[in-house]
Amino acid sequence: MADFAWNGIGLAAPSGWEPSAIERDGLFLADGLGPVCELKWNRVQGSFSFDKHLRKLTKGNKGAVVRAADAAEIPEAWARAVDRLAESGLRAKSFLWKADGSRGLGAALHHPGTGLACLIQFFIRGEEDEPRAAGVLATLRDHTGGKTVPWAMFGLAARVPADFALDTFSFRPGHYRVAWWRPASGKRGGRADTGKGPGTHLDFERFAPASVLLKGTTLEAWCRERLAHAPPTLAAMDNGPGRVDWRGTARTSLLRKALRREIKTCGRAWTPDEGNAVLAVTAEGVAPLADSTFNDICGSFTLVPEETA
């Protein structure tokens, strides 16, 4: 099983299930034969209607027949998975769907404590897919209730303070980047506000292969040239075996000082013992991260071994 965690949602999927598309509040998994699982979620305030969310699913899939499932229509393994979700605080209502010769099984989920509203559906090609889908459903978790939030994708894993919101991300050959943002007020804004205005940007980056990228250069010099938030020219660098750290001021002026709008920055880049990669974490903004917080964030950022990825 491989663990996936993204923007507050987590689940474990069978080997061979890989992300085919990633959205800020959506995750689509596929195997060698096609799509196998789709998730979409958001946060709602106030009352929640399962029927309303099922109607949204029908509206978004023209030609599909979607209906709530009776208890007698649900496989035993699926019913047990729903019970397990209830133990974690997630309420669920199961549904069945058919479209273009395909059929599926899904659930509308809601966590009253956090406001999470989620739709998850599985593509069922044969009876053997039903217990597999139930097994994945049972692992679904809402990660937004703690002080930190995990994310895990494409062989990377880390944790971020819960007051950071997912901003932008890209997974390109040789370069993965996941960026988070926290407003200076410390209060998370809505989707439209993410990444805008005074605040702190927190970036995780992975580059590979390190043996090629660092050939003929030092890790410090490479960081100054390649990182999205590169070390300032005058920043003091702390070099160690396979690692470089820095902390300083990225942008300043008399006006910025007067308005307390200096841009502070800190960063760390290192080459793990295994994986032939460069990992980097940078934080930049008007509200600098405490050393202990930044150290914890860097310590959480790891490569996941292939046998468990």
Angle between helix axes 129-138 and 76-87 (nearest 10 degrees) is 0
Residue-wise pLDDT tens digits, 209-221: 999 999 999 999 9
Q: Mind giving me the DSSP string for 98-116?
A: EETTEEEEEEEEEETTTTE
The reply to whether domains 2-142 and 148-308 share a CATH topology is: yes
Own/partner long-range contacts of 259-262 (Cβ < 8 Å, ≥24 apart): 260/286, 261/198, 261/286, 262/286
Q: What is the dihedral of CA 298, 303, 305, 308, to 10 degrees?
A: 80
In a 10 Å sphere around its CB, with 0-12 CB exposed, 13-18 middle and 19+ buried, how is residue 173 labelled?
Answer: exposed
- The whole-chain average pLDDT of the chain stands at 89
Dump pLDDT digits (tens) for 147-165. 999 999 999 999 999 999 9
Q: pLDDT, tens digit, for every residue of 191-208?
A: 445 556 678 999 999 999
What are the residue ranges spanned by the domains of the chain? 2-142, 148-308
Considering the entire predicted model, what is its pTM? Answer: 0.89
Among 10-14, 132-136, 143-147, the range scoring the smallest mean pLDDT is: 143-147
* Residue entry with tokens 């030609």: 63
pLDDT confidence tier of residue 48, bands split at 50, 70 and 90: confident
Residue 26 β-bridge partners: 23, 40
- Tokens (6 digits) for 95: 């549904």
* Angle, alpha carbons 231-236-238 (nearest 5°): 95
In tens, the pLDDT along 225-267 reads 999 899 988 778 999 999 999 998 865 666 565 556 678 899 9
For the structural domain made of 2-142, what CATH number should be given? 3.40.1000.10
**Topology classification of domain 148-308:** Protein Transport Mog1p; Chain A (3.40.1000)
Sign of the Cα pseudo-torsion (27, 29, 34, 40, in order): negative
What is the separation, in whole angstroms, between the first and last Cα of the chain? 8
Radius of gyration, alpha carbons of the chain:
22
Between CA 226 and CA 205 the distance in angstroms is 11
